[in-house]
Amino acid sequence: MGLSRLALPPGVLYLPGQRRDQPSASCRWKGEAGGARRGQPPSPAALEDVFNMFVVVGHSCPLYPRLPGRDCSGRTLPSDDAVETAEGRSSVSHQLAQRNDGPACTPVQRALLALTIPLEMLQVVKGRMMQAMSHGLSRQTHAQANVRMLPTYICSTPNGTEKGNVLVAELCQSHVRILLMTLLGDGNQSPHVTDKIFDVPGDSMQGPGEAVRGGHGSGWLLLGCPVPGRLGRAPGRCGGSRLPPTAWALGKGEQPVTPAVPLQLFDFIAQCVRQFLAGVSSPEERLPLGFVFPFSCKQTQLNKAELLSWSKGFSCSGVEGKDVVQLLQSAINKQEVGDHGVGGPGWGQPRGGANDALALTPGQLFHVEVVALMNDTVGTMMTCSTRERPCEVALVVDKGTNSCFMAEAQYVEVVEETNGRMCVNTEWGCFGDDDALNDILTPYDQRVDQESSNPGKKRFEKLVGSLYLGDIVRHTLMALSAEKALFIGSNVTVLGTKGALNTQQVLEIIDNEEGMAKARVALEALGLRPSERDCCRVQQICRAVVSRSAALCAAGLAAILGYIRHSRGLERLVTNVAVDGELYRAHSRFGEILQSVTGLLAPDCMAALVPSVDGTGRGAAIVTAVALRLADQRREMDQLLAPLRLSRTDLERVQALMRQEMELGLGQETNANSSVRMLPTYVRGTPDGTERGEFLALDLGGTNFRVLVVRVAEDGIRMASEIYLIPTNIMQGTGEALFDHIVDCIMDFQLKQDLMEQVLPLGFTFSFPCQQLGLDKAVLLTWTKGFSASGCVGEDVVQLLREAAQRKRHLALKVVAVVNDTVGTMMSCGYDDPKCEIGLIVGTGTNACYMEEMQNVGTVEGERGRMCINMEWGAFGDNGCLDHIFTDFDRLVDETTINPGKQRFEKLISGMYLGEIVRYILLALVEKQVLFRGKPCPRLQTRDIFKTKFLSTIEIDGLALQQVQAILHDLELDASFEDGVLVREVCQTVSLRAAQLCAAGLAAVVEKMRENRGLSQLAVTVGVDGTLYKVHPRFSQHLQKMLRELAPNCTVTFLQSEDGSGKGAALVAAVACRGAEP
């Protein structure tokens, strides 16, 4: 181990022992710390001095010789306990005395090395933490997970618009704090805060959790003692079995309470609330309250949480397994404000700024509603969010330790919510209870654990929390004393006493300037006679213990940051991390180590540590205010979207109306009165597999026009095609220009395919409403989809095509059939599945066709067989029969189209209009200040800015909301994460309604077919095409699910068409040619 290895690698973390003006470690080693020459290892004394300066977490650094599986000389140790890890081999146990033939390690050096964790092992700890987090989030493994990953049902961070008065009840270690905070909607920059502190009587911490009834007066409860002094600390054991003569009680009747019982915890908190409110002026009728309850709970709602277990000296009976929010709410509901405020004259006074002025009139009730429960970690996170960079992670390192973060809701499998994010309380103090930390535990840690009240539990917390660090140091010193390395000549029996050295003393000892003096004072107070060297070594041990705590916290934090980055699909995560707790606040180097090691362990994450300001109080108030804002937001959303959320009854009515309109459309006398035209197509059969030959096909149904050649052979169908654009000026110009353009495209295609000399049968897919008078004769009824070419409505489109061919002198054009895309889709799928007798299009527009019994088609002569009916159901509702389901948004969309009042059903369903419906809803939400913080969005005023394709993208399962935000930002919308959640909900609502309405229409079709054929159960296939059906991630699922509910006697199979409008038109021509053969 030569001097070439003595330079500090990246990752060295300096402790307070090193001043900025001190020489580097390598310099001290060569000079002050032992005079090592090149090629020689440092002396043990040098090692010891170096540890006084820093902790090394770099890779394989000789200053950190205790690498996994190595001794203090840095040489590899053979070990039967070695196991493979992601970072290489790692020893499973600490053998402090294990040495090789390298430089001798003193007991102090071995202790320091044992308490130091190298970066490689921290990476392993990070990986194990991430695995433990995944187990906690999984529904399958959650119950067995040590890192519980408890959902908090907090689904948003503050956005700065929160306003109003919020009350907080914070249960602390030895007191209850009541706080009232007024938020002004100014970004939470200048909240007004008033608070009071009430001491918790010991009996309330240990007594019954719920109110105890006793004596002859049912419902009696001891509420307090009319004696001066701190609340619950009256002479005569107020609240115990022996009472002062002036004790009083509230209850039913006038009978005495026999016997009196200890004041239950939740009634005590409720009385604190009442006492506090007695000094508040201008009270509101309703005050929302956030409850800070720092114990492990299973939350099922924001305001519903069952206590899992007590800790921190609390052990109230009868509370575990019960809803603590309901217990507090019940206690609050029992409180009244009397003539003398709370509990009568002289009732226990609060600590800190008590206000004796009572603003409440006798008998007046305060309606205090507990709306949110949280722990201190969540509150810490909430105080550190800014508009520019939300805080999504919090870390508390106090007597205990915990963390929380905003997880993608879809990965929190133990809750039903899949949209947005949810704050997860990791409860990571229990990490390692499954032995995952055994290979970093020292004998000192094991002794601390054994003498704790919960051996084998909270292993991570016992390495990190300030409640335990003093005892870790104490056990280390005790072991070193036994090895005669410390306190020689002193009686060290006192070191065997738990708590003899506390964490506050440890933090004072590691101080740069006063640490040595503090060490001497603390040790002499224990009756020890420390030497200067003893004080120095104690300081080194203290620094190692605190630094290890920071490094382990960093490993946990890096695991959280890495998990967030991975779950959101980010290359780099940038976020604030709120930090609070005694260790972080009292020891500045703790934060520096935490920041540095986190950066080393999570290099793809940029996390700024932000000190929390009153996370438990103000943070809880902000949580509560956010909950209220979200509740108001939810009411606005539900009210706005309610008309679009159709019930089963609504859909059954739509189904019945569709059936009614179908019957009217089929009747010769009633056809003109129906909004569903039920047009005969003169297609009398579907493909039977015997069709052969070459056919041309044209497909006109939107802004793109296709020409195809289709070759039907025994071994299948082969096609060649080309797409041609139809410019807007031609779509909305003259009919002659439109059909001349079509013929030009046909000629260009035939030239490229060397078909100019052949006369091939041609099938023409013309996807607009037509009245068909024959297989090759169709009169255009109206333009849709943005077309408005003049001179076409009321004309035979086949004849218009033929005339254009004559003008272009293209005489080799033989049109044998004209169909729309819906019929083509049915025919295309019918070639693959003989049961396909329905066609459905859900794309830019929507339509359906089906095989109807000829005897029911009153508009065509003939009784035998079947004929395909083109329903043209896009116009369903044009006669007003669907007005009851049209919303204001639908009307706005309709009014701005080129055909107001027409194609009403299509405007509820098809891709051409859904984006516009969403846009109008978003505008309404902005106006109600629900979206984009109520700021004007000029870009959103632009018509058609929100394309239907955005709905399909936004609703993709698993799409991170970061990507939803990106879509909205591309539209120049200043969308927050929360806005993304709401926009997704709007999209889901609009697309769900479209799918359900489509299902209602289709249910009418299949039920009619079943009844026509006298079947108890119909099995039929629907050939389906259209981008909305094919591309939207949920449309087809919603459609099929609702169809099963509305038509339970029909088994419907959906077969997606492959080029139905092209291949289908050719197959119509092929079937026509087959029927014409002798």
With a cut of 60, say whether residue 1025 has pLDDT above it. Answer: yes
Residues identified as active-site: 706, 767, 821
Higher pLDDT, 684 or 918: 918
With a cut of 90, say whether residue 885 has pLDDT above it. Answer: yes
| Residue 171 tokens, joined | 């249960």
Q: Which of 71-75, 198-202, 668-672 has the lowest mean pLDDT?
A: 71-75
Region 166-195 average pLDDT: 87
Higher pLDDT, 718 or 130: 130
Q: Where is mean pLDDT largest: 256-270, 755-769, 1057-1071?
A: 755-769
Buried b (16+ CB within 10 A) or exposed e, 323-337: bbbebbbbbbebbeb
- The whole-number pLDDT of residue 246 equals 28
Buried b (16+ CB within 10 A) or exposed e, 503-520: bebbbbbbbeeebbebbb
Whether 309 and 320 have beta carbons less than 8 Å apart is answered as: yes
With a cut of 60, say whether residue 342 has pLDDT above it. Answer: no
Confidence bin at 771 (pLDDT 50/70/90) = confident
Whether 526 and 533 have beta carbons less than 8 Å apart is answered as: no
- The whole-number pLDDT of residue 1070 equals 84
Whole-angstrom Cα distance, residue 494 to residue 497?
6
- Which residue in 806, 820, 943, 919 sits closest to 873, CA to CA? 820
With a cut of 70, say whether residue 146 has pLDDT above it. Answer: yes
Which residue(s) pair with 833 in the sheet?
A: none
Whole-angstrom Cα distance, residue 591 to residue 395?
11
Whole-angstrom Cα distance, residue 181 to residue 163?
10
- The whole-number pLDDT of residue 82 equals 32
- Average pLDDT of the residues of the chain: 81
With a cut of 90, say whether residue 61 has pLDDT above it. Answer: no
Higher pLDDT, 703 or 96: 703
Query: How many Cβ atoms from other residues are within 10 Å of residue 128's Cβ?
Result: 20
- The whole-number pLDDT of residue 366 equals 61
pLDDT digits (tens, 9 = 90+) for 952-973: 888 776 666 667 777 888 888 8
- The whole-number pLDDT of residue 23 equals 34
- The whole-number pLDDT of residue 573 equals 93
- The whole-number pLDDT of residue 356 equals 36
- The whole-number pLDDT of residue 961 equals 67
Tell me the residue ranges of DSSP E strands in 234-350: 248-250, 286-292, 296-301, 304-309
Order the strands of the 693-700 sheet from edge to edge: 716-725, 704-713, 693-700, 761-766, 814-819
Find how far residue 1006's CA is from the centre of its chain: 40
| Residue 132 tokens, joined | 């433990």
Q: Which of 233-237, 498-502, 508-512 has the lowest mean pLDDT?
A: 233-237
pLDDT digits (tens, 9 = 90+) for 388-401: 677 999 999 988 89
- The whole-number pLDDT of residue 533 equals 94
Whether 171 and 645 have beta carbons less than 8 Å apart is answered as: no
Query: How many Cβ atoms from other residues are within 10 Å of residue 668's Cβ?
Result: 10
Confidence bin at 685 (pLDDT 50/70/90) = confident
| Residue 906 tokens, joined | 């299509």
- 755, 758, 759, 763 alpha-carbon torsion, rounded to 10°: -30
- The whole-number pLDDT of residue 103 equals 52
Phi, psi (5° rounding) for residue 72? -75, -5
**Identity of the residue numbered 366:** F
- The whole-number pLDDT of residue 315 equals 80
Tell me the residue ranges of DSSP E strands in 200-301: 221-224, 248-250, 286-292, 296-301
| Residue 341 tokens, joined | 């405020």
Region 1021-1050 average pLDDT: 95
Whole-angstrom Cα distance, residue 53 to residue 50?
5
With a cut of 60, say whether residue 53 has pLDDT above it. Answer: no
Buried b (16+ CB within 10 A) or exposed e, 9-36: bebbbbbbbbeeeeeebbebbbeebbeb
Higher pLDDT, 390 or 128: 128
- The whole-number pLDDT of residue 210 equals 55
With a cut of 80, say whether residue 285 has pLDDT above it. Answer: no
Whole-angstrom Cα distance, residue 561 to residue 575?
9
With a cut of 90, say whether residue 840 has pLDDT above it. Answer: yes
Region 187-215 average pLDDT: 71
Inter-CA distances, 314 with 172, 173, 1069, Å: 10, 8, 84
Do the bridges between strand 175-184 and strand 192-199 make them parallel or antiparallel, or are there none, so unpaired?
Answer: antiparallel
- The whole-number pLDDT of residue 104 equals 61
Q: Which of 163-177, 338-352, 662-676, 791-805 has the lowest mean pLDDT?
A: 338-352
- The whole-number pLDDT of residue 401 equals 93
pLDDT digits (tens, 9 = 90+) for 704-728: 888 999 888 888 888 898 999 999 9
Higher pLDDT, 1041 or 55: 1041
Whole-angstrom Cα distance, residue 264 to residue 108?
50
pLDDT digits (tens, 9 = 90+) for 923-935: 999 999 898 887 8
With a cut of 70, say whether residue 143 has pLDDT above it. Answer: yes
- The whole-number pLDDT of residue 1058 equals 78
Region 910-917 average pLDDT: 93
Find how far residue 90's CA is from the centre of its chain: 36
Confidence bin at 91 (pLDDT 50/70/90) = very low
- The whole-number pLDDT of residue 281 equals 61
- The whole-number pLDDT of residue 837 equals 95
Find how far residue 24's CA is from the centre of its chain: 47
State pTM to two decimals. 0.72
Whole-angstrom Cα distance, residue 897 to residue 955?
26
- The whole-number pLDDT of residue 578 equals 94
- The whole-number pLDDT of residue 336 equals 60
Query: How many Cβ atoms from other residues are within 10 Å of residue 939's Cβ?
Result: 12
Do the bridges between strand 163-171 and strand 286-292 make them parallel or antiparallel, or are there none, so unpaired?
Answer: parallel
Region 405-429 average pLDDT: 89
Region 1055-1071 average pLDDT: 83
- The whole-number pLDDT of residue 283 equals 53
Q: Which of 81-85, 169-173, 364-368, 439-443 has the lowest mean pLDDT?
A: 81-85
With a cut of 50, say whether residue 219 has pLDDT above it. Answer: no
With a cut of 50, say whether residue 58 has pLDDT above it. Answer: no
Whole-angstrom Cα distance, residue 1046 to residue 1041?
9
Query: How many Cβ atoms from other residues are within 10 Å of residue 604's Cβ?
Result: 12
- The whole-number pLDDT of residue 811 equals 76
* CA quadruple 289, 292, 295, 299: dihedral sign: positive
Whether 791 and 738 have beta carbons less than 8 Å apart is answered as: no
